[in-house]
Amino acid sequence: MKSRTFQTQSEDETIALGERLASELPAKAVVLLIGNLGAGKTTLAKGIVKGLKAADPDQVSSPTFTLIHEYSPAVYHVDLYRLETEAQLATLGLEEIFDRPAIVLIEWGEKFPQMMPAERIEIRLRATGECTREIAVEAMR
């Protein structure tokens, strides 16, 4: 996946961009969704999950309290917002999930960079207005 930046003007455009990005993902990838609260991380995840044909957007929500949603054996959505320590993170078994042939979408993964695979995709989201977003995609090696 090549590095580039997008602008979206609405929630629907952000979901559509997620669908488009899903078509470019390899069969196995860790994708960090990085941005402040309200930046659109879950909205983009809705589009990616839809694009991977794992669930409809209205079935996708942030796993803030459950921490991990499994939409299919090949699509996971993780939210690390509530975790404070590496010890808490270690109890989730992410290493096992990372070994699976799956797309793993992780919100707030930047809180634990040392626990994330070096080879990953980082998607940075930034609100530029009430409904507008700047979304930068970068493959890390």
* Token reading at 58: 């209205």
Residue 141 has pLDDT above 90, yes or no: no
* Least confident segment among 1-5, 85-89, 99-103, 113-117: 1-5
Q: Is residue 65 part of a domain?
A: yes
**How far apart are alpha carbons 110 and 121 in whole angstroms?**
12
Q: Is residue 139 part of a domain?
A: no
Render pLDDT for 54-78 as a digit per residue (tens, 0 to 9): 999 999 998 878 899 999 999 999 9
CATH number at residue 45: 3.40.50.300
Q: Is residue 55 part of a domain?
A: yes
Render pLDDT for 5-34 as a digit per residue (tens, 0 to 9): 999 999 999 999 999 999 999 999 999 999
Largest CA distance in the chain: 39
Q: Is residue 74 part of a domain?
A: yes
Render pLDDT for 105-131 as a digit per residue (tens, 0 to 9): 999 999 999 999 999 999 999 999 999
pLDDT of residue 102: 97
- Total structural domains within the chain: 1
Query: What is the span of the domain harbouring residue 65?
Result: 4-134
- According to DSSP, the residues that pair with 136 across neighbouring strands are 5, 124
Q: What is the mean pLDDT of residues 38-54?
A: 96
Q: Is residue 140 part of a domain?
A: no
Q: Is residue 141 part of a domain?
A: no
Residue 1 has pLDDT above 80, yes or no: no
